[in-house]
Structures are given as structure tokens and as C-alpha cells.
Amino acid sequence: MPQLVLWDIDHTLIDTRGVGRRLSAAAFEEVTGEAMRRQAKIDGITEAVIFRETAKLHCLTTNRADFERFAAALAAQHLRHAGELREQGHALPGAAAALDALDAAGVRQTVVSGNVRAVAEIKLSVFGLDTHIQWDGGAYGEDADLRAGLVELALVRSSAVLQETVLIGDTPADVEGGLATGVRVIAVATGRSSAEELRAAGAHAVIPDLTDTEGLLKLVTVP
């Protein structure tokens, strides 16, 4: 019986339907003084890397202090526009039921996300998906550049055993992060990556979405 599930957030549990990008652009301009004309690749990438690479696209050199200012501005934008996020975004079908079912089965749940922690908390709370999340056991976009580093950190923070941990995400980067650290990976084809791409990345199981609660519970709890 797994002790821990590590959840990705965007396109796994929720979809901001473009609101997240607009808020990121506002925070970027606030911190750098430059309008965000282009954004670096975001799927499966941590916020620190997205900020650094987006800045490079605008011929800007940034440091950790710049990122920390950006992270604070991004959190403030999400808090200020939580109503917009709630109205335009949505929890993905089956997400709430999946979180409830895992909790009822005694499985601990936390987050491994490219979002900075403050933004991760706002995103899930806006859609009522934060009740069962043990935030202190997770790892976030300010903690490491690569997914594997986030998974390793979450395992330490959660005092979890590799063989009793499952990661659920929607990108090849999620899959690779789990495989690199030895945890079992369930990939959900609710993002931009197809089921075929997720299988090719090496996911142990691939599902179309989270609507089959019983099926997901079996995948999580039966190796």
C-alpha cells in the first residue's frame, strides 16, 4: 500500500485556461520593467527555469534575487486575481473525487510542482482541492531546477519510502523526474502530451483523465 502520492498541479488537477500565463506576464513586467513578449517552454518546467529562460528571450540577465522578486510578484498576482482564476479556470474532471478517495484509503498526498509554493497553494485552494494536501511534505518551483530534484526533496520532506510512493503528472518531464528517483509514475493525458508520448517517456501507467476514481485507486494502491 503506497504511503504517499506526489501530485503535479497544472493540467493534472487543474486548468487555468490562460489566466496563469497572463498573471505571469504581469509579474514579469513588474519585476523586469519589460513586457513579456514571449515565454519560454513551461510544460513540466520549474518556475525558476521558466523565469530565467524567459528573461533570456528578452536579452535580460537575472539572478536569484530577481527570481525571488518575481515569485513574490507572481503570488501577489494570483492572490489579487483569485476570482478571475476561479471564474475562467476549472478543476479537471475527477480531480476532487480522486483526492477524496486517496485520503479515504489512508494515502498521504502532497505536491511536486513547478509552481512556487505560494502559487500552488492559491491554485488548489481556489478550486477546493487543497483539503488533503500535506504542503510541508511537497517540493516547489523555488526548490530545484529539475523535476528529479523536486521528487528527491519531497521524499525527504515526507519521510517517504521509494517503493511506497507514486507520482501523478501529465508531462514527460513528470515521468522522467519520477523514473530518475525510482518512484512509480502514473501519467494522465490531460495536458499537451498525448498518451503515446507519456508511454514513450516510460510511465508505468497512462490514463486518459481522472474520472475513473476506482480505476485510479487500484493503480495507486496495487503495484
**Phi and psi torsions of 188, nearest 5°:** -115, 125
* pLDDT tens, the chain, 223 aa long: 668 999 999 999 999 999 999 999 999 999 999 999 999 988 889 999 999 999 999 999 999 999 999 999 999 999 999 999 999 999 999 999 999 999 999 999 999 999 999 999 999 999 999 999 999 999 999 999 999 999 999 999 999 888 899 999 999 999 999 999 999 999 999 999 999 999 999 999 999 999 999 999 999 987 6
By the 8 A CB rule, do 172 and 45 touch? no
Q: Which three cell numbers stand for residue 115?
A: 509552481
Distance CA 191, CA 173 (A): 12
pTM for this entry: 0.95
**Terminal alpha carbon distance of the chain:** 8
Give the per-residue SS3 of 61-99: CCCHHHHHHHHHHHHHHHHHCHHHHHHHCEECCCHHHHH
